[in-house]
């Protein structure tokens, strides 16, 4: 246990310092993650000091992790999110219960944890707070990310790890499975009085989370450009058309002319917001025209132009000295895998197969 604890202290402090002084992007999400690393370091340190006495004070480090995953995920998908001082109440349960456990000298014991004694009231409050915190933050976090992912192809022309947040969704689900298992074992303990869960498991899992967020948190950048922070990026409904036929036709022509003349699809980070700003047309109107009149989401609309550009370059002898991958990058794709996947989806053949067909 002692080795695990000091590894946790070191890794948490190291990750917090890296985010604070090395990563230049001091966004809300990075500040939240930095604060969590330092608090986790403190939690590991307290456990390390406790372990030298032979018993550990009652604590639940996930009371601080629960609001983290909620606000961290929200700050990534809502760039205009601003944290206010009163939101500190979200971390009060963790600090109040931790301080209370030390002041009342309540220790963690596997045997008869909920036995009736002088500290039973505190343990009941501790248990109920832990459960409600887990449910109250984890479920909304999953819902927010799921809704965001559903709408991705109406917002972006390129999808990658930084945008899809698949890693974060996986971590939250992984965390929820772990916590449900832990609470189930806790119920079994109440009924049978058999110790089936150890605090070692809690801090081993916490250390795992720290390693995961250290890696992906450093790689995760802003999803939206800084100059889009003040935009309202809520999802717009287009299933019930609100535009008149004449206005739809006007927007459609402006959109198609823009793509033919200016070729914005060469920008691999092109978003519907950028197109909206350029044309001076609200995003929701462009989305409605794309889905109701053109019959495509933004992702497919943009990538069809990119694929047509690739076809043109592959058939042009002037580009024979370019590799297929280089042509893909020239036409707006930001990775070889994305290029090959989209090209095959739209043409039913790989770029290499298409080129061989041209040479026949």
Same fold, 2-228 and 245-359: no
Instruction: Name the helix (H) or strand (E) containing 358.
Output: helix 351-359
- Is the pLDDT assigned to residue 53 strictly greater than 70? yes
Q: Residue 115: its pLDDT value, please?
A: 63
Separation between Cα atoms, residue 315 and residue 116, nearest integer Å: 81
Neighbours of 56 (CB within 10 A): 20
Going by C-alpha positions, the residue among 329, 315, 306 that lies closest to residue 360 is 315
- Is the pLDDT assigned to residue 130 strictly greater than 70? yes
C-alpha angle 97-98-101 in degrees, rounded to nearest 5: 80
Residue range 157-216, pLDDT digits in tens = 988 888 899 999 999 999 999 999 988 887 777 777 666 667 888 899 999 999 999 999
- Is the pLDDT assigned to residue 62 strictly greater than 70? yes
Q: Residue 225: its pLDDT value, please?
A: 58
Q: Residue 264: its pLDDT value, please?
A: 96
Query: Domain 245-359, what fold?
Result: Arc Repressor Mutant, subunit A (1.10.10)
* Mean pLDDT on 265-288: 92
- What long-range pairs does 95-99 form, CB within 8 A, spacing at least 24? 97/58, 97/59, 97/60, 97/63, 97/125, 97/126, 97/129, 98/46, 98/57, 98/59
Neighbours of 339 (CB within 10 A): 24
More confident residue, 120 or 15: 15
% of the chain with per-residue pLDDT over 70 = 91
Q: Residue 302: its pLDDT value, please?
A: 96
Q: Residue 113: its pLDDT value, please?
A: 59
The token pair at 344 is: 């095959």
* Mean pLDDT on 295-314: 94
**Contact indicator for 125, 55 with CB cutoff of 8 Å:** no
* Mean pLDDT on 78-92: 86
Which of the four pLDDT bands, split at 50, 70 and 90, describes residue 353? very high
Separation between Cα atoms, residue 237 and residue 194, nearest integer Å: 53
Helix (H/G/I), strand (E/B), else coil: 234: coil
Structure-derived torsion over alpha carbons of residues 275, 279, 283, 289, reported in degrees to the nearest 10 = -100
> What average pLDDT does the chain have?
87
Q: Could you tell me the residue ranges of all domains in the chain?
A: 2-228, 245-359
pTM of the model: 0.82
Query: Domain 2-228, what fold?
Result: Rhopdopsin 7-helix transmembrane proteins (1.20.1070)
């Amino acid at each position: 246990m002692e080795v695990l604890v000091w590894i946790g202290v070191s890794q948490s402090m190291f990750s917090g310092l890296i985010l604070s002084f090395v990563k230049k992007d001091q966004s809300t999400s990075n500040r939240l993650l930095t604060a969590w690393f330092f608090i986790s370091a403190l939690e590991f340190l307290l456990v390390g000091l406790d372990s030298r006495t032979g018993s550990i004070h009652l604590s639940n480090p996930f009371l601080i992790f629960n609001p983290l995953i909620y606000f961290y995920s929200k700050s990534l998908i809502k760039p205009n999110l601003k944290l206010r001082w009163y939101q500190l109440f979200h971390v009060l349960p963790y600090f109040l219960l931790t301080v209370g456990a030390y002041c009342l000298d309540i220790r963690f014991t596997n045997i008869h944890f909920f036995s009736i004694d002088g500290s039973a009231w505190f343990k009941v409050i501790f248990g109920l707070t832990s459960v409600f915190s887990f449910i109250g933050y984890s479920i909304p976090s999953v819902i927010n990310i799921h809704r965001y992912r559903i709408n991705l192809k109406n917002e972006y022309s390129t999808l990658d790890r930084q945008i899809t947040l698949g890693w974060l969704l996986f971590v939250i689900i992984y965390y929820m499975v772990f916590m449900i298992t832990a609470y189930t074992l806790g119920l079994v303990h109440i009924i049978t009085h058999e110790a089936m869960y150890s605090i070692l498991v809690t801090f081993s899992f916490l250390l795992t989370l720290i390693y995961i967020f250290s890696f992906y948190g450093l790689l995760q950048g802003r999803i939206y450009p800084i100059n889009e922070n003040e935009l309202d990026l809520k999802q717009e409904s287009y299933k019930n058309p609100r535009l008149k036929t004449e206005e739809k036709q006007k927007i459609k022509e402006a959109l198609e002319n823009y793509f033919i003349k200016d070729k914005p699809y060469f920008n691999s980070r092109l978003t519907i917001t950028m197109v909206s700003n350029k044309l001076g047309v609200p995003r929701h109107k462009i989305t409605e025209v794309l889905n109701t009149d053109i019959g495509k989401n933004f992702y497919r609309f943009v990538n069809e132009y990119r694929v047509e550009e690739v076809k043109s370059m592959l058939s042009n002898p002037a580009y024979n000295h370019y590799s297929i991958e280089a042509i893909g990058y020239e036409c707006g794709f930001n990775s070889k895998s994305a290029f090959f996947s989209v090209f095959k989806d739209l043409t039913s053949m790989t770029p290499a197969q298409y080129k061989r067909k041209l040479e026949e």
